[in-house]
Amino acid sequence: MKKLTPFLIAALALTTTYSAASMAAESDVKNDSGLYVGGNYGYLKVDGDDDFDDDNDVWQGLVGYKFNPYIAVEGSYIDFGKYGSSVAGAETDGYTAALKLMLPLGERVELYAKGGQLWYDTDYNVAGISASDDDTGVFAGAGVGFKITENFLINAEYTWYDAEIDAGDVVDGANTSTDFKQASIGLEYRF
């Protein structure tokens, strides 16, 4: 037993050292990949060839997964709000799926660009007649994130959405190309 004791102490020391090194490496990997959630609030410019042009507030909740410091996938729910006038108005909300590319600049700042698919639903009210339409579009955006802590970020971003506002069920021929332009600030928490 006396000959086995030094061997057991050495094995315990090596195991402890290896475990500590593995945990340190694992925490570095955790900071570079993993789940995150966030939300954005901002300004929306509805810009098209129709009576639905307007400025509005926009709300967005998002969830994403970082594969490494440079690539993530992200999904969101967006409430584009009500826009237009009392004669011709609309309300749009939708979901997105995006690929997000990030470029870390030092320890606290990262630039990012993202793009993907938008699925949206628009409720129309034109001269007292109501209708609803589902459609899809594409979007692209860019922004900058600032790390407040290792897990908590503040970001500023600009996003362009290509939408087709189609009030054809309400007004014949009212199918126009419309852009939603969003400038927002947001918070992100990385697990």
Q: Where are the domains of the chain?
A: 1-32, 34-190
Q: Which residues, including other chains, have CB under 8 Å from residue 71's CB and lie 6 or more apart? A: 99, 100, 101, 102
Position 52 scores a pLDDT of 59
Q: How far apart are the first and last CA of the chain?
A: 47
Low-confidence residues in the chain, pLDDT < 70: 1-31, 48-53, 165-177
Q: Where are the beta strands (DSSP E) in 31-70?
A: 34-48, 54-66
The Cα–Cα gap between 35 and 50 comes to: 40
pTM, two decimals, is 0.75
pLDDT at 69: 94
CA dihedral 112, 72, 181, 77 (to 10 degrees): -150
Q: What was the pLDDT predicted at 130?
A: 84
The hierarchical CATH code for the domain 34-190 is: 2.40.160.20
